[in-house]
Amino acid sequence: MNLQTTVTEANKKRSTTLSWGQWSIRAIALGYLTVLLIIPLLVILQDGLQQGLAEFWRQVTLPAAWHALQLTVWTSLVMTVINIIMGTLTAFVLVRYDFPGKTILNGIIDLPLAIPTLVTGVMLVILFGPQEVLGAWLKERFDFSVMFAPPGIILALLFLTFPFVVRSVQPVLMELDLAQERAAATLGAGGWTIFRRIILPPMTLPIITGALLSFARAIGEFGSIVIVAGNIPFRSQTAAVYVFGEVESENRLGASAVSIVMVAIAFSLLMIADYLRKRSKSSKEEMYESH
Amino acid sequence: MSLTSSSRTSISKTQSSFMDWVDRNKRKWTGWILISLVIFYVAFLILTPIIALTAGAFEKGFGEVIDSLNQPDVFLAFWNTLWVSLVVVTIHTIFGTLVAWVFVRHRFPGRNLINGLVDMPFAVSPVVAGYMLLLLFGRNGILASLVESLGIQIAFAMPGMVLATLFVTLPFMIRELIPVLEAFDTRQEKAAATLGASGWQTFWRVTFPALRWGMIYGITLTFARALGEFGAVLVIGGGVQGRTETATLFIYRALDERQYIGAYSAALLLGLFSLVLVLGSDWLRRKRR
């Protein structure tokens, strides 16, 4: 008894000294995030809105800025649609089929995460540059230019974001219960019906999450696009490249206003993705609890 | 538990009933078409550009590559990149661990919002990241006079580039460590504390060994991302040749000046660096299992 009280006393004493230490750890961690993350984000908000909402809106809707934002959004959308289709297909093939070279294919999918985006841009220039073999042939034969045009932007974005949908769908596909598919097949459902009615529904949420991440990542992309698309207003200038140009020419208001729009898009997309991830997590927990 | 194991055995028994169906009906062409479609897409999208870069760099022979890289400018650029990345990795290892710790172990108002904000650098454009720092520390910046009176130069100097890279790489360490810490059984720590270990001893002897692998992956990802950072470093550093030029900024300038072999070779070298890093950590991860 005596021993036990001394132990609890010692514990109590330790927990009070620990909590002092824990307090300083919390203060350091939050201070670090404030300095690195929150202050810069607030500064850009303050700077873009300091002349009022009307001026902010005027800067955003300046023809060049508006065009750059539109180009960014539509190229990212096209990329996201292709990514949804090809990413889901790739995950499906990787989970459901066995073929020689599958392990290598699985490894290649992560390569874009390891390659600097500027290097991605350089790679595409070598392939599709107007003086290069492939680029010159496409231009001459089909009058189709990849460089300094939207196709180049979409291609660069596809390269960068390829892993997101695949890696989001793959684990869900692996966990699918195959008894359902077998039952559907026994009941006479065709392959396409099985895919649409049984395989697709549980994959919807991970597909959307992957798509949102791809889109959010694409909105701000700079390194590869500035190389592939250059900086031609009204043709191949995306929002990030526009902001860069405005910073260089010291148009502070324009740079801040377009930056705010980009940050707002990124923030809302991430919040939705986060919400969906939490929802799928909790629905999965419910499923396991009910069993 | 029983649920997961039973479903797993059913997977291994037959790859799938859908597959059976395909087998019975059209495996000959459905499977074949899907597989070749994916292989063709990946080869076109990812492999062809990588091969093109290698071919482009070696177009005029191996000697040209060595000559183009064997320049004081290139050495300085890669040195700057390495220096910035090492500083960034060190800072994130220490503070990222603290942040992950606080998110997992502490409950406080605003925790969810801040936790969501940690992912922001993933989606905020690097240009905007650099520009934010310019607003703070550039000419007429909010903190410019304060920093100037301290005699430190941040904008267009290495400290600014470190800050920009810190912003861009913020999520990696934290996101890698949070799940590890969540899975960690705190009873071990309590046991150590009961046995008389001090807070620091408990961390160093009990918690840290459990975190080690998460830290290694976090470091790898942070390092690879820092090596390749371009937009943020360009805006805040200015890319002054011979001073604040990093490897990516050198590649950008070399392309601009039409020194193609130099640009391609440096791009290949930088790509190889981060590839080796990431593949190396993947290999470690697999070896550990």
DSSP, residue by residue, B126-195: HHHHHHHHHHHHSTT-TTHHHHHHTT---TTSHHHHHHHHHHHTHHHHHHHHHHHHHHS-HHHHHHHHHT
Of A40, A115, A291, which has the smallest distance from its Cβ to B274's Cβ? Answer: A115
Q: Cβ contact (<8 Å) for A185 and B18?
A: yes
Residues from chain B contacting residue A18 (CB–CB below 8 Å): 199
Q: What is the CATH number that goes with domain B62-288?
A: 1.10.3720.10
Residues of chain A whose pLDDT is less than 50?
A: 1, 5, 7, 11-16, 291
pLDDT number for residue B82: 96
pLDDT number for residue A15: 47
Decide: B182 and B104 in contact? Cβ < 8 Å.
Answer: yes
Residues from chain B contacting residue A219 (CB–CB below 8 Å): 123, 125
Domain boundaries, chain B: 18-57, 62-288
Question: CATH assignment of A52-290, given 3.40.50.300, 2.40.10.330, 1.10.3720.10, 3.40.47.10?
Answer: 1.10.3720.10
Residue corresponding to tokens 């304060």: B146
Secondary structure element (H or E) that encloses residue A12, with its range: helix A2-33
pLDDT number for residue B121: 93
Domain boundaries, chain A: 1-49, 52-290
Cα B99 from Cα B105, distance rounded (Å): 10
pLDDT number for residue A105: 92
Residue B95 C-alpha, separation from nearest chain A C-alpha, in angstroms: 7
pLDDT number for residue B19: 61
pLDDT number for residue A188: 82
pLDDT number for residue B152: 86
- Supply the ipTM of this predicted assembly: 0.87
Of A116, A240, A243, which has the smallest distance from its Cβ to B227's Cβ? Answer: A116
pLDDT number for residue B21: 52
Of A110, A177, A216, which has the smallest distance from its Cβ to B7's Cβ? Answer: A177
Give the pair of three-digit tokens for residue B57.
Answer: 């760099």
pTM for this prediction? 0.87
Q: Running along chain B, 289 residues long, what does each successive block of 10 average in pLDDT?
A: 38 53 58 91 94 92 90 94 97 95 89 88 94 91 86 90 96 94 86 83 86 91 94 92 92 92 95 90 80
Residues from chain A contacting residue B127 (CB–CB below 8 Å): 220, 222, 240-241, 243-244, 247
